[in-house]
Amino acid sequence: MVDMMNNRFRKDMMKNASESKLSKDNLKKRLKEEFQHAMGGVPAWAETTKRTTSSDDESEEDEDDLLQRTGNFISTSTSLPRGILKMKNCQPANAERPTVARISSVQFHPGAQIVMVAGLDNAVSLFQVDGKTNPKIQSIYLERFPIFKACFSANGEEVLATSTHSKVLYVYDMLAGKLIPVHQVRGLKEKIVRSFEVSSDGSFLLINGIAGYLHLLAMKTKELIGSMKINGRVAASTFSSDSKKVYASSGDGEVYVWDVNSRKCLNRFVDEGSLYGLSIATSRNGQYVACGSNCGVVNIYNQDSCLQETNPKPIKAIMNLVTGVTSLTFNPTTEILAIASEKMKEAVRLVHLPSCTVFSNFPVVKKKNISHVHTMDFSPRSGYFALGNEKGKALMYR
């Protein structure tokens, strides 16, 4: 017998006070009655006798036949859908080493499940990426060296770091565990070395100098190969995906394209509607060039038109930001372009490619935990997206 009184759901099934105890069979019948009453009869899936299909209704027969076999009938789409991006918050990358200093660089290791976080607290930290706790591997402290930018070499064996006010370039050899300061590059007349780029093939290092100079260094020896000069100042620069060209955005709204081997200017084009550039990025597949300007517009160009025309028309101008676009990053599969401005809180958007539409569910409007974004990166297989803000948090998303 089952006691009906000590279960609040079964109390409702009692028809009178004498049913304080029911046998199991009677309880089963009562549950069945309650269910049928709620469902309005016996649902089709609960009928034990197989429904007979009429001979003229062949589609239903096909359906039954389909359900007899297992197999992959629904294949997943290879391209990323637009509109809403499936993503969730993870533990911040640097949760095991909290800081309040601004994060100036966040980058995923090209080969291992490691993320690097560097900031104005003079430290470069490496964390293992698991999305749950992100355990710290190590921190490298650089005396009186607030980090302006830190970056992995293309093979992932070295970390390069520059400071906000020094001409020293630190190279950390990860395999040997040695920190090597490069005090002086012969032929380099710069007082401060800050902004730099590493080519994807691992051969070159490009340093943005003052007065429009770009200095090309050999990555292996850190020796100067040659310099290039543009009109005005260098606002931002980047290598093309094949490392054969350099794109340099100038302080007067123009973009210069240089050949790396000959160090000759191949083309110079006007970034439409830009007074002065702030950021530039090229996609991994060699299809797009994105230029961010002072007014918050990101122009996405076809790379071929940038090499041939002096006034190329952008495929799309992204108008979602209203302050100067300071960071641009394509994901490795060229399906997302992340754009951000450090001048305003929550000013970060993810753009879907090739439709050039913004994902509507990021950032989450109500949360307001992103603040001012200074750096962004995607993991090598685009499983994670990380961004660093001025509050010392390296936020990470799956």
pLDDT at position 77 is 60
pLDDT, average across residues 174-200? 95
Strand order in the sheet with 277-282: 277-282, 288-293, 298-302, 316-318
So what CATH class is 89-325?
Answer: mainly beta
* 185 has pLDDT over 70: yes
* 326 has pLDDT over 70: yes
Spans of all domains in the chain: 89-325
pLDDT at position 21 is 85
**262 — pLDDT class (breaks 50, 70, 90):** very high
Percentage above 90 pLDDT, the chain: 78
* 394 has pLDDT over 80: yes
**17 — pLDDT class (breaks 50, 70, 90):** confident
* 91 has pLDDT over 90: yes
**73 — pLDDT class (breaks 50, 70, 90):** low
pLDDT, average across residues 198-226? 96
| Cβ–Cβ under 8 Å, residues 106 and 116 | yes
Q: Is 350 exposed, middle or buried (0-12, 13-18, 19+ CB in 10 A)?
A: buried
Q: Is 377 exposed, middle or buried (0-12, 13-18, 19+ CB in 10 A)?
A: buried
Average pLDDT, the chain: 91
Q: What secondary structure, in 3-state letters, does 269-319 show?
A: EECCCCCCEEEEEECCCCCEEEEEECCCCEEEEEHHHHHHCCCCCCCEEEC
pLDDT at position 238 is 98
How far is residue 119 from each of residues 50, 150, 174, 221, 276, measured CA to CA in Å?
67, 9, 19, 26, 27
- At 104-159, the pLDDT tens digits run 999 999 999 999 999 999 999 999 999 899 999 999 999 999 999 999 999 999 99
**54 — pLDDT class (breaks 50, 70, 90):** low
pLDDT at position 61 is 63
Instruction: Report the distance separating Cα 271 and Cα 248, nearest Å.
Output: 11
Helix (H, G, I), strand (E, B) or coil at 36: helix
| Cβ–Cβ under 8 Å, residues 237 and 254 | no
pLDDT, average across residues 30-54? 74
Tokens of 10: 């079964």
